[in-house]
Amino acid sequence: MITPAETLARAAQLRATFEAAGAMPVETPILQPAETLLDLYGEEIRARAYVTTDALRGEQMLRPDFTVPVVEMHMAHGAEPARYTYSGEVFRRQEHDPDRANEFVQVGYEVFDRANPAAADAEVFALFAQAVAPLNLRAATGDIGILMAAVRGLNTSDARKAALLRHIWRPRRFRALLERYSGRLDVSARRAKLLDGTLDCDGPLIGKRTQTEIDARVARLRADAAEPPLSDAEVDLLDALLNVRETVPYALAQLRDIAVDLPSIGAAVDGLAARADALSTRGVDVDALPFEASFGRTSMEYYDGFVFGFFSAQRADLPAVATGGRYDALTRRLGNGAEIPAVGGVLRPGLMLDLEAQA
């Protein structure tokens, strides 16, 4: 059994490694204003984070991760470029799996640097790969930015692209939208009546949503109905893209093929190639490194570029030992107009010790 003291000692070691790599150690409060996290993640965060309250400050959450407070701190008064490291406990409410920890230690490393995104991605990945190297973990990498670029390049309305982008991280809804936009779903009789203006409504308007808002949505629905369906060819290309699952060199070759018909992903694929070079320079064996275009779509909501994770191959039941990625959009959301490219990741020293003890 690993003791808390052992976990903290390992956390301190890891943090020292990150400091040696140039990061400044930072602390963040355990209690976070609930409103920020709710704004960012929506009501779902309540299923993942513990909420507490007092009469003065209202709802507070026990930090479910460090990324948000560290980004806020940097956006408020950070120098540029900046590298931070931290270690401490995070708290995760568990409603389904009694074997998952609801409180564990994380050690993180975050880079805020405009100069060279590929190099910053590689720097973070290589540091984490080194830290977990003795554990022989399975690495996974992906790039949400390629999928986002593909959606932006679709031959369809801005409203449809915006809806698809909003649901990049919710594959089920993303799929439902694609089916609707490609004309594969039937329009209900009621919806058809609404669109042609023959629907009667007998209810008085109650609540805060105004008639103007309803009329505007009906207008949007009509505009959308007039929009030609997404072509099968485009949907097939998106599917082909989502199915890319190869080592990095082969994934690059496949993506370049797809980019011939989907030129909008060209720059993002070039970015992947630049990252592969930067990883090579850092000593990562890129030829053996897996790349999955769909990786990071379900659980890593704020990542919008490079994503990575390290998993135990023997203990598939365990959560990731390390995860990370690029989150430029998050800095925009939290920065009140300011933004800065950012990439980082977290490690779980407790899991590392567990795996070492079993080895």
Partner 1 sequence: MSVKLGVPSKGRLMEKTFDWFGQLGITLTRTGSDREYAGAVDGISGVSLVLLSAGEVPRELAAGRLHFGVTGTDLVQEKLPLWEQQVEPLAELGFGHADLVLAVPKAWVDVDTLDDLDAVATAFRAAHGMRLRIATKYHRLVREHLRHAGVADYALVDSQGATEGTVANETAEMIADITSSGETLRANHLKVLEDAPILRSQATLWRSRVAEVSDADRTVAAALIAQLTD
Residues near partner 1 (CB under 8 A) are 38, 42-44, 46-47, 95-96, 98, 163, 166-167, 170, 172-174, 176, 180, 188, 190-191, 194, 199, 201-209, 211, 213-214, 216-218, 221
Residue 77 Cα to chain centre, angstroms: 25
* Euclidean distance between CA atoms 227 and 77, whole angstroms: 46
- Give min distance, CB of 352 to partner 1, in A: 28
Q: Compare residues 3 and 54 and give the one whose CB is closer to partner 1.
A: 54
Of the two residues 26 and 40, which places its CB atom closer to partner 1 in the complex?
Answer: 40
Q: Tell me the C-alpha distance between 327 and 341, whole Å.
A: 7
285, 114 Cβ separation under 8 angstroms:
no
Q: Which is nearer to partner 1, 223 or 253 (CB)?
A: 223
Residue 58, SS3 per DSSP = strand
Q: Tokens representing 94?
A: 């568990």
Q: Are 11 and 109 in contact (CB under 8 A)?
A: no
Q: Is 210 or 281 the residue whose CB approaches partner 1 more closely? A: 210
Of the candidates 191, 127, 166, the residue with the CA atom closest to the CA atom of residue 347: 127
214 or 233: CB nearest partner 1: 214
Q: Exposed (0-12), middle (13-18) or buried (19+): which is 61, by Cβ within 10 Å? A: buried
Residue 279 C-beta: closest distance to partner 1, Å: 33
What minimum distance in Å lies between the beta carbon of 211 and partner 1?
8
Q: How far apart are CA 252 and CA 258, in angstroms?
A: 10
- Which residue, 40 or 135, has its beta carbon nearer to partner 1? 40
82-91 and 138-143 beta bridge pairing: unpaired
Tell me how far, at minimum, the Cβ of 242 lies from partner 1, in Å. 16
Kindly state the smallest distance separating residue 316's Cβ from partner 1, in Å.
21
CB 303, min distance to partner 1, A: 16
Question: What is the spatial distance between Cα 90 and Cα 236, in angstroms, rounded to a whole number?
Answer: 41
Smallest gap from residue 170 Cβ to partner 1 (A): 4
Indicate the residue among 29 and 204 with the shorter CB distance to partner 1: 204
- The span from the CA of 359 to the CA of 353, in Å, is 10
* Residue number, 46 or 138, with CB nearest to partner 1: 46
Residue 288 burial (CB count, 10 A): 10
| Residue 87 dihedral angles phi and psi, to the nearest 5° | -150, 145
CB of 205 to partner 1, least distance (A): 4
